[in-house]
Structure 1
């Protein structure tokens, strides 16, 4: 049952499934029966995620034989960016929402995952602009430009503390067919790091909120670190069950070879 983890709906499976859904919706928007995006040289063009946000997660309530319904919408928000929203329901009950912002990219002439650049795919509908920083595309743009001072209550200028967990991604498990470190692996790496710095509660933790802002990628064979920037504990918030506790943390993923940050990950987990 790949859809479930030890504590309910598998976040890793869900992200992979929604990533595929996003890709197929892009093809449909472009009038393609199957995804086949190329540039003027005939080289492949890919959709790379620059931000994802899981909100109001109640994944721990999902059980074996439950039927998950996903209601998805996609729109173009800039010349190169696409935004999809996915509402998750079990027996008509919401268990979360996921937003995903992607950009079309192509590799440079030298190849490799350090040389990708944005590409404007022709034939798509005109953009429907997002509102501003309160929307995920706007917040991601502000993050890339260094215009944000905080996110989810975490200061962005804090240095990495301890622990720093080394990760050696496995090409057979962590990369996709296009040769990129797959976006769902970033969340998986943070969970592995959480197992190191919060083992006492990590085994029963489920994701309530997770925002990932991507800034780079790896080539197969390269390594990275997951560094804990900050963490905090609090009593249950909002619609969480009474008496529950949350663990929140900000982690930074850094490419080892050049010390380049490749993602900022902000997480709120409910502790059973």
Structure 2
């Protein structure tokens, strides 16, 4: 369905000013941003996901990122896929100034993509792309009832082809190989495990399993069978969500040389929930 999101201006512009301030390209790095191996990928994806939402809100001339449908239901810019390339996260250290240059485009009636070039003094350390679609729950409290929503014609922008969106669509159609350099026939199954994500740590304020925690769960599963290595590339694809009480099954596969890993996420009914592909040095 096509909708025009409600815009309820505040009495002052303080929220809008704070959104603009939150998009300052410079961030002074400290312990919250780092892990023992450099810049934290989980922190980075959370930060860029937040920026993606704020950029959408500003593009739609809203005073905050409180998206709502015309009938007052909460709406969300749900993440469909992410891509992290040219990663040199190990170069970041405390007191470095991280610089994020971002841009956004509309790629379909329902989807927007943002691209973020992340650098520090030594140069580029990551290029991240985030693809989102507006969704709302058809039934209160039911994360399985999320449905896509398109923008009204008055809010639509020119559309551009997008390879990440094409790969995400292939994943939703059930295609097993959704990135050009991965053929699952080359992989061996290493391990399967069942987990129940923590509602306090891995669900977000909207009550949804947070997109940035998929790669964190995949990393944790991979590190149970191999030592940590330098991350070079990561793609994550999402298909809906789960309710807080649900368990999910992770299937971990590895290439012959252990440089490429695939983690499949399935619900208890075996429907696909997500896919994380990783390349290590």
Question: Aligned residue for 2:156?
Answer: 125
The structure-2 alpha-carbon separation of the partners of 1:104 and 1:158, relative to structure 1 and needing over 3 Å to count, comes to: farther
Find 2:276's aligned residue among 254, 265, 271. 265
Cα offset for 1:157? 7.0
Find 1:197's aligned residue among 222, 225, 231. 225
**Unmatched segments (≥5 aa) in structure 1:** 235-246
Q: How is 1:168-207 mapped onto 2 (pairs within 5 angstroms)? A: 168-198=196-226, 201-202=227-228, 205-207=229-231
Find 1:40's aligned residue among 70, 92, 102. 70
Instruction: Give aligned pairs, total.
Output: 250
Partner-residue secondary structure (3-state), 2:135: strand
The structure-2 alpha-carbon separation of the partners of 1:157 and 1:262, relative to structure 1 and needing over 3 Å to count, comes to: farther
The structure-2 alpha-carbon separation of the partners of 1:207 and 1:126, relative to structure 1 and needing over 3 Å to count, comes to: same
Distance 2:245 2:210 in 1: 14
TM-score under structure 1 length normalisation: 0.86
Cα offset for 1:209? 0.3
The structure-2 alpha-carbon separation of the partners of 1:71 and 1:232, relative to structure 1 and needing over 3 Å to count, comes to: farther
- For the 8 Å contact 1:232–1:249, the answer to whether it is kept is no
Shift >6 Å, 4+ stretches: 157-160
**Unmatched segments (≥5 aa) in structure 2:** 1-30
- For the 8 Å contact 2:188–2:256, the answer to whether it is kept is no
Find 2:99's aligned residue among 46, 51, 69. 69
- For the 8 Å contact 1:255–1:262, the answer to whether it is kept is yes
Note the aligned Cα RMSD (angstroms): 2.0
- 1:249 correspondence with 2:280: no
TM-score under structure 2 length normalisation: 0.83
Partner-residue secondary structure (3-state), 1:136: helix
